[in-house]
A and B are shown apart, each in its own frame.
Chain A
Amino acid sequence: MPNRNSRLRVALIAAAMGLSALAAGCATKPDPADEAAVQAYQEANDPLEPMNRYFFEVNQFLDEVLLKPFAGWYHVALPDPAEDGVRNFLRNLKSPVILANDMFQGEWSRAGTTVARFFINSTIGVGGLVDVASMMDMNYHEEDFGQTLAVYGAGEGPYLHLPILGSGNPRDYSGRLVDYALDPLTWVGYAYNVSEINTARAGLEALDTRARNLEAIDELKRGSVDFYATVRSLYRQHRDDLIRNGESEQQASQEMITDEMIPEDGGTSVDLKAAQSDDQITVAE
């Protein structure tokens, strides 16, 4: 990435300013007497909200000036099949980390799929550029150490939005570090003094993901009355879905029978089922 250094510098400045934002204090806790506010505060699970919002704005700015324009050019310049080739290649590179986490979670059948995909796509699929395996009904799936931690019962912790890195939480950020260490390419980069390949790969991943979501993100931003809160919610729901490997959470939804939706008159006229809607944000832990 040609702008790596300037990005880094901006990130450092942003980090310094963010730390002072952090020092300036966390989110104001709601008045304990105000039940609705307390509940909203807990549901948001975002005690560092002022700092997170600050970094969110920084990232929005970086996105507008750097990532989005690059992604736009990339999207225009590359025909769709080439774009898919890039994604397939990047996904294939992730196979060792996915496999390790499949095994950590005891998902042996998924581990088998990961191995088969890797061999099929790396050979018949021309080094990973063509996803031949998915044509044979072996579809791609994601796994990472953040999910592994969740499967072992680790809580997500409060929401954390960091410069460049974006949405996360302590569990998922720790997971990313472990995945980085698990990845053979990390060590290839160090051993042969070509750690640029990892930077290039991260940049390309960001570019690919952004290019695929140009319109979607714009529309979401336009339609939203609080884009930060929307992104925070979507991040959690998406992680939750990945952790459950896309299975629906019957038990979780049954645990969600709460009385929060019952109005003070005892709910005589109210359909209580609304209170049980699948709110997977709060049931994650």
Chain B
Amino acid sequence: MLASMSSRRLLIAAGLALFGWTLAPVAPAAADPAAFIQEVSSKAITEMAPAAQETDQQRAIKLKPLMEQYFDMPAIARYMLGSYWPKATPEEQAEFTAVLTDFLALAYGKRFATYTGHEMNIGRVRDEGDRRSVVFSTVKLPNGEPARVDWTIDQVGDAYKIADVKVEGLSLAATHRQEFASVISRNGGSVSALIDMLKQKLGS
């Protein structure tokens, strides 16, 4: 009835995006994109280990610094606003970027517990040029089926940052971009209307 398979996979994406699997510990300094993804996931395992009686908000608070460290939030925010980014005032742009980080941390933080303890295999890395590469990996889901997870990694300065995560072809960035564009256009092109809605979700 819904795009059910798809939605399930997005959720898995979400869980995985937020690194809920087990990996052998690796050297701290990421020499290449694949090593970077290993570093991110092993860090996430220690930082995001589920505690008893945790609320969604508490998990979001744990996740947020990891997102700020490993995800290219400014670029993700720009991409998700799409053609509305240049239309937004600098204040709106800044506020959107800040609210978006909280929104994603809340949305994906609570899914962590479900997706811990999976085995991830890092496959090939494809150089996309222009300091961007895609790291392909597969994760074994609890039901035993492997899921494809593709990481889009940008080199920003001398650090690697995640720009997008795709699970089974479903892109986190593209999905939210479409969703946000729809909200903005239904509110007469108002970016602040979207910001208000995201804040509402954070409050609830």
Contact = CB atoms under 8 A, between A and B. Distances in A.
Interface of A: 30, 34-37, 39-41, 43-44, 59, 62-63, 67, 164, 166-167, 206, 209-210, 212-213, 215-217, 219-220, 223-226, 228-235, 237-238, 240-241, 244, 246, 248, 250, 253-254, 260-264, 270-271, 273-281
Residue in B168, B170, B194 whose Cβ sees the most chain A Cβ within 10 Å: B170
Contacts of B140: none
Interface residues on B, range: 35 or more
Question: Is chain A's interface secondary structure helix, strand, loop, or mixed overall?
Answer: helix
Interface string B61-78: 000000000001011101
Contact of A223 (B78, B107, B182, B186): B107
Contacts of A44: 178, 181-182, 185
B169 A43 contact: no
A281 B194 CA distance: 22
B113 to A, nearest CB: 12
Question: Is chain B's interface secondary structure helix, strand, loop, or mixed overall?
Answer: helix
Given A40-B84, A246-B148, A278-B152, A237 B169 contact: yes
A273 B178 contact: no
Nearest to B134: A248
Nearest to B11: A216
Nearest to A281: B174
Interface string B167-203: 0111101110111111111100100001001100100
B180 A240 contact: no
A274 B6 CA distance: 24
Given A213-B7, A248-B136, A281-B174, 15 more contacts: A30-B185, A36-B83, A41-B185, A67-B1, A210-B1, A226-B182, A231-B7, A250-B128, A260-B82, A271-B154, A271-B156, A274-B76, A276-B128, A277-B174, A278-B164
A100 to B, nearest CB: 21
A94 B169 CA distance: 23
Nearest to A167: B3
B59 to A, nearest CB: 13
Contacts of B1: 59, 62-63, 67, 164, 166, 206, 210
B10 to A, nearest CB: 6
Nearest to A36: B83
Interface in B19-56: none
Contacts of B183: 225-226, 229
A209 B10 contact: no
Residue in B3, B11, B166, B171 whose Cβ sees the most chain A Cβ within 10 Å: B3
Contact of A40 (B79, B82, B131, B169): B82
B5 A217 contact: no
B16 to A, nearest CB: 13
A30 B166 CA distance: 31
Contact of B79 (A219, A226, A246, A261): A261
A281 B189 contact: no
Given A226-B182, A280-B169, A273 B2 contact: no
B173 A277 contact: yes
Contacts of A260: 82-83
B139 interface: no
